[in-house]
Amino acid sequence: MSMLEIIDFGKQFTIHHLGKTRQAVKEINFNLEKGEFIGIVGKSGSGKSTILKSIYRTYLPDTGSILYNSDRFGTVDLFKASERQILYLRKHEIGYVSQFLNVMPRTTSRQLVEQALLEMGEPEEVALSEAEKALTHFELDPKLWDNYPNTFSGGEKLRLNIAIATVKKPRLLLLDEPTASLDQQSKLKVRQIIEKLKVNGTTLVGIFHDIEFMEGLCDKVYDMKARQLVREAGVSNEG
Ligand SMILES: Nc1ncnc2c1ncn2[C@@H]1O[C@H](COP(=O)(O)OP(=O)(O)OP(=O)(O)O)[C@@H](O)[C@H]1O
């Protein structure tokens, strides 16, 4: 089976103080094969993040299923998976990167990457050396390794975020507008990072505002229109 199969997925939100519901997305269908990179574009508020957050199970859907082909559990419907399974998958198989760095306060960048590896059961000395390799790989200045990331620039925070997520070698990586607040130079760096991840066989789903950024990078691009996904021609590297 595919790495990910999304079937008739729909999500609405209840706005309690108004006593109303809002349909965020409906009838979403797509498949993601191993090693593929799917890009999602669309207007602000069209439901792109809702799809990604539902794959990560931050949100629970109302309809449909999201079947994920797990290394550990076989085919799992991410909507029905137990909390324990979800925690395992987040730790070992599915990564999520956004422009925001949500990490433990007063923890240095080196410690944050180390912790990700320790959580996976790596011994301390391996965690230490792999963390340094990852920080080097993602070009975080060694002067920043023992600093707290709250003072980092947007690009530095993002590269640390990507290092924390990818050091675990996730099989599936979700990128939620990671380049939103970056300048052109930093965006280029992120593009190179994504290219490297692709070469290493990581399967990716990414949201980007910038269609130019996706040019030649994604295997397929979908556009959110009227709460549904429509396949876009001409942006992907399929020609
Ligand atoms: N937790 C929530 N509670 C209520 N409504 C929500 C919630 N999350 C999203 N929505 C609504 O669902 C719709 C889709 O939001 P979503 O964040 O998925 O859009 P998006 O395409 O990712 O937007 P952007 O590009 O601006 O980040 C919007 O109308 C939004 O207001």
Q: Contact, 32 vs 39, CB < 8 A?
A: no
Is the CB of 20 inside a 6 Å radius of any atom of ligand 1?
Answer: no
Is the CB of 98 inside a 6 Å radius of any atom of ligand 1?
Answer: no
Given ligand 1 and candidates 15, 17, 48, which is best to mutate, with the most ligand atoms within 8 Å of its CB?
48
Is the CB of 72 inside a 6 Å radius of any atom of ligand 1?
Answer: no
Q: Which residue has the higher pLDDT, 218 or 182?
A: 218
| Cα–Cα dist 35/11, whole Å | 27
Judged by average pLDDT, the poorest of 62-71, 73-82, 221-230 is: 221-230
| Cα–Cα dist 128/171, whole Å | 22
Q: What is the mean pLDDT of residues 61-82?
A: 95
Length of the chain: 239
Q: Which atom of ligand 1 is nearest to the CA of 47?
A: 18
CA-closest residue to ligand 1 atom 28: 45
CA-closest residue to ligand 1 atom 8: 50
Domains and CATH numbers, the chain: 35-64+82-232 (3.40.50.300)
Indicate the pLDDT class of residue 18, thresholds 50, 70 and 90.
confident
- Per-residue pLDDT at 80: 94
- Expressed in angstroms and rounded, the spacing between residue 121 Cα and the centre of ligand 1 is 35
Read off the pLDDT of residues 35-55 as tens digits, 9 standing for 90 and up. 999 999 888 888 999 999 999
Is the CB of 46 inside a 6 Å radius of any atom of ligand 1?
Answer: yes
With a cut of 90, say whether residue 7 has pLDDT above it. Answer: yes
| Cα–Cα dist 32/166, whole Å | 19
CA-closest residue to ligand 1 atom 12: 24
Percent of the chain, pLDDT > 70? 97
- Per-residue pLDDT at 238: 52
Decide if the complex's ipTM is over 0.90. yes
Is the CB of 24 inside a 6 Å radius of any atom of ligand 1?
Answer: yes
Is the CB of 107 inside a 6 Å radius of any atom of ligand 1?
Answer: no
- Per-residue pLDDT at 236: 57
Read off the pLDDT of residues 205-238 as tens digits, 9 standing for 90 and up. 999 887 787 788 889 888 888 777 787 755 555 5
Is the CB of 121 inside a 6 Å radius of any atom of ligand 1?
Answer: no
- Expressed in angstroms and rounded, the spacing between residue 146 Cα and the centre of ligand 1 is 36
- Per-residue pLDDT at 190: 82
**Positive or negative CA dihedral for 44, 203, 127, 141?**
negative
| Cα–Cα dist 102/155, whole Å | 15
Is the CB of 202 inside a 6 Å radius of any atom of ligand 1?
Answer: no
Q: What is the mean pLDDT of residues 140-166?
A: 91
CA-closest residue to ligand 1 atom 3: 13
Q: Can you state the percent helix, strand and coil of the chain, rounding each to 5? A: 35, 30, 35
